[in-house]
Each structure stands twice: as structure tokens, then as C-alpha cells.
Chain A
């Protein structure tokens, strides 16, 4: 990933230094809100609206947000929201992998009737207006008793995770030379064994990237749990938005602490799969 130079371009020319200056400005713009959240999360209630940059930092907000104290104070149960996010998003990713990997393999390896229709239908979930599905699901879930349940959340999160898993992995399976599996077959492997022992290990980076990216997007999703989850399955995103509206009293410092905690898992996961991010975010369309 070395920075390359255009032909005829030299390092440390005024142009290159100018480029760095503009970039620095962008990164101040990019990072400042996150830094500001950090500062706000370290302030006491007395300082939260009265100070800007000079205050006596404390970590106590994080303790409050992550304990019963925060629930009593703000009526938002943040620890339970974190657990809901982990279970529902993790569950959704596992279901998508179990179902999506075979489908992605079928679509990447074979030409079969309806394959493109299936793939594009799955992709269209990514671009469909969410409420078109949520409104009927809201009615159906209430009838079936799936409102605010783990099963209901994992089902609806398939809209987020399934297109990512299937499309990213199809592009990986397409790139895999078929000769490798053919060789395994000639060696007496069954088709299934060739898939498990040869194809699957080779696309492992793709699977990891697709799974983590799907988890990130499910974690960051707001509209599904907002409408289809109640207090039991409210996720991190829903909980954070409720800190602000709680009981007439302002808990900006707690909101900031919760926001940072909620933002941390996606940030860490994203940095671990950065190499695969472009391909994942473009659903396999751009192979970086």
C-alpha cells in the first residue's frame, strides 16, 4: 500500500505539501466530533453544558452507563442493550453464513436457472426502503408474538447481513480457480469434501471480512430495532438515541459515554479488516 507517485511527480514539492495540508484539514473535520464526544464523556454533570475544553476529567460516566445506576438515572438499560446487540447481530451473522455460504458457492461456481434472479433479489433487500418491509412485519410480528424477540430480530437483520454475505462471497468463489477443486476430485475427494477442504479454506479471508462487515452493519442498524424491538431487545443504537430524551433531565455526558462505547466495536472490527473493506462495502463490485 505504498503511496505511489504520478509519473513526473516528485516527493516534497510544494504541490505534495499542499496536498498534505488539505488532508490535515479534512482529518481535523473528521476526527473532531469523535474527540469532542470523548471530552464530553469525561465531564461531570455540572460541567457538561458549562465548559468546553477546560474541566476536571473523570471516568465515572462510563461506570454509570454500564451499571444499574445508569438504568435508574436515565431509564435506559445500556448493559442489556449491549447484550441484545451482541446476541441479535451475532445470531443474524451466523444464520447468514450458514445459509449464505452454500448459496454464494452455488452462484459463483455453477450456472443455473434463476441464479441471477435470486442474487439480485437478495441484493435488492439492500436498496429497498426499509419501512416497506417493516410496516407489514410490525403487523405480522404482533400477530405471531415475534415483536421484541431474538428470533424476530435475527430474522429481520437478514435484510442487512444476507446481501453482504452472499454477494461478497460470490465474488470470492468466482475468483477461485476451478482447477483446484477438480484436482481434489481427481484425488478421490467427494464434491463436498473438496468444497470443505479446498474451496472453503481459500476464501477464509473473504468469509471473515463478510462476517465482520455484516456484524458491523447489523450493529449500526437503527430502524429495525427502533420499530420491531421493545425494551427487551432494544439494541445499542436505539438505547443511545433514548439517552437524550430521558425524563426531561439532560444526560449529555452519559450520552457521550454510551455513544463512544457503542461506536467502539465497529471501529475495532473495521480496522482489522481494512484490507477487505473496499471489496466488502461495494458488495464485491470493486476488487481492491
Chain B
């Protein structure tokens, strides 16, 4: 960043045609590193606790055991053999897969409709993003009040009596519904941006050839849209795997362990029960899950991008 305001410098005025300043090549090669050093420092400041967190998974650290020792894979053996952990994995996967799939389908539909829409499109685009910009916690609070069996407005409007939205069998799906409310617009605006960037020519050509709308959608639009859809899917799936906020305020992981996703489980273990190592083991395993899935999805994205580039030609 500049050391002093540029105005104070007695630099040659533009157009004066002075020779460019001679900078030694070693300085030129060093320049990007100098620019990146502060970011590197911050990165290390964040990487340090991250690595420490990974290390916690291999020691027996808790509030009652402040002098931990290295225990190798014992934490993993314990966690991987506990049924509570596997319930959390199942809950997390059900949540992440169903939320991502439903949001992608709905978001794609809404984007196509907005793209087609005649007179409502422009107003609705502004309204569309509102739930997305509200904090997920606030969304959770709002929906929690609407879900209330005694005075909640949903049971009143739909005449559901004292239907319990957050009961054992309903809680997970009620949380998914809130996720859909918040994040479907995310998929929709990404896909809509993609739709707007599509080249017109292939559609005009196949329209001249007499192709119907469905054929054009399947054979032209979808292949070209895949990269946009996949970017949305990657973001949504990665984020839902570590979901916390809205589920935590709605149910805190309950009733029982019905909505205890991996990150809520880690919160209960490490922050409430102060068993840091167990929470860290959960997070280490979740991190591996996120990492592997991300690698796979990004390679799928790469393939889709190459195919889409081919389809445009």
C-alpha cells in the first residue's frame, strides 16, 4: 500500500514521457511475495489453530485432563465405534443430500421461470434474495416461532391443530425446510446468471430445425448450464455438511439426537462437555469427508466445464 498520498509525490505528469523507472529484476521477482506476505501471516495465524485442532484428535485433551498425552488413534477407535457418531453421520448426510438436491431442483426451476417470466420477473429478482441475506440464525428463530405447536401461525393457517413440527420424526425435515427457504435463492441466482450468459445462436439454429422446447432444454441448455449448477451444488453441499446455525437454534440437536449433525455433536462434546479431543476427532473426520467430497465435485465440475465449452462450439 502507498506510504503517502500519491498527490504529494512529485512524479512526472502523465504524458510527459519520462523513461520508466529501472527496477532491478530481483526486486521485480520479489514483488508478488512482498504483496502476499501480510495475507500469508494471517493465513498462518488461522492455520495454526487449525493444525492444533487436528492435533487435538490425537491426544486426550479435556477440561478434566489439562495435561494431555499422545494417544495415537484411540480417539478415532472410540468415536468410530460409538453409535452416536454414526447417527450423526447419517443425520448429516440425510440433511446435506436432501437439502442440496431439493434446493438445486427448486432453484433450477425458479431460475427457468424467472428467465421466462413475462412481467413479474424484475420485481421478483429483488425479492428472491431476501431470505438468503438474513442470518441463518434469524431464519431459525423466525421459523421456530412459526413452528410452535401452541401459537405457531403454520398450524393455525393450515388447520393442523397441535401438530409438532419439531417432534422426533419431523424435526430433521422441518430443519431441511428452513434450509430450503434460505438457500434455494442461492442456486436460483447462480443458475439465472448462467442462463443469461448462454449464447443465442445454438438455440436459434435448433429452433429453425424445428426442435421443441424440451429437446432444447435437455440437449443444449442443460449441458451448457452444468458448470453453473455444479458450482451451486458444491457450495450448498459443502455448507450443509457442516450445518450448525439454523439447526442449533431450532432444536439444539434434539429431540434426543434426531438432529445432532456432526458439527452440533462436536459442539456438545467440546464446548458443553469440555472434551476437546472428542470434538476435535469429530471435526477431523468431518473435515476428511468435506475434503474428499470437494475434490470429487471439483473434478466433476472440471469435466462439465470442458463439455460445456464443447457444446457451445
Taking residues whose C-beta sits less than 8 angstroms from the other chain, chain B's interface range is: 35 or more
Q: How distant is B62 from chain A, measured CB to nearest CB, in Å? A: 11
**B276 at interface (Cβ–Cβ under 8 A)?**
yes
**A49 at interface (Cβ–Cβ under 8 A)?**
yes
Question: Are B262's CB and A3's CB within 8 A?
Answer: no
Q: How many residues on chain A are close to B (CB under 8 Å)?
A: 112
Question: Are A132's CB and B53's CB within 8 A?
Answer: yes
Mark out the residues of chain A between 256 and 282 whose CB falls within 8 Å of any chain B CB in the assembled complex.
Answer: 256, 259, 262-263, 266-267, 269-271, 274, 277-278, 281-282
Question: Are A20's CB and B120's CB within 8 A?
Answer: yes
On whether A131 and B263 interact (CB within 8 A), knowing A110-B32, A125-B46, A139-B276, the answer reads: yes
Instruction: Report the bound CA distance from A156 to B231 in whole Å.
Output: 26
Choose from B9, B41, B271 the contact partner of A193 (Cβ within 8 Å). B9
Mark out the residues of chain B between 45 and 94 whose CB falls within 8 Å of any chain A CB in the assembled complex.
Answer: 45-47, 49-50, 52-54, 56
Main secondary structure of the interface of B (DSSP, over half): helix
Q: Beta-carbon contacts of A79-96 to B below 8 Å, as 1s and 0s?
A: 000000000000000010
Question: Are B43's CB and A121's CB within 8 A?
Answer: yes
On whether A255 and B135 interact (CB within 8 A), knowing A16-B118, A33-B146, A102-B39, the answer reads: no
Choose from B109, B196, B283 the contact partner of A132 (Cβ within 8 Å). B283
- 20 sample A-B contacts, Cβ–Cβ < 8 Å, listed by A number: A1-B122, A3-B114, A3-B118, A9-B213, A19-B117, A36-B142, A52-B157, A99-B41, A103-B38, A127-B242, A130-B242, A135-B56, A187-B17, A187-B18, A188-B11, A193-B11, A219-B135, A241-B140, A262-B135, A270-B133
**B145 at interface (Cβ–Cβ under 8 A)?**
yes
Mark out the residues of chain A between 186 and 216 whose CB falls within 8 Å of any chain B CB in the assembled complex.
Answer: 186-193, 196-197, 216
Instruction: Report the bound CA distance from A20 to B56 in whole Å.
Output: 54
Instruction: Report the bound CA distance from A67 to B119 in whole Å.
Output: 44
User: For residue A238, which residue of chain B has the nearest CB?
Assistant: B137
**B181 at interface (Cβ–Cβ under 8 A)?**
yes
Question: Are B141's CB and A255's CB within 8 A?
Answer: yes
Instruction: Report the bound CA distance from A190 to B28 in whole Å.
Output: 12
Q: Which of B97-105, B166-174, B183-191 contacts A (4 or more CB under 8 A)?
A: B183-191
Question: Are B181's CB and A277's CB within 8 A?
Answer: no
Question: Are B193's CB and A278's CB within 8 A?
Answer: yes
Question: Are A216's CB and B138's CB within 8 A?
Answer: no
Question: Are A103's CB and B36's CB within 8 A?
Answer: yes
Contacts of B119 in A (CB 8 A): 20
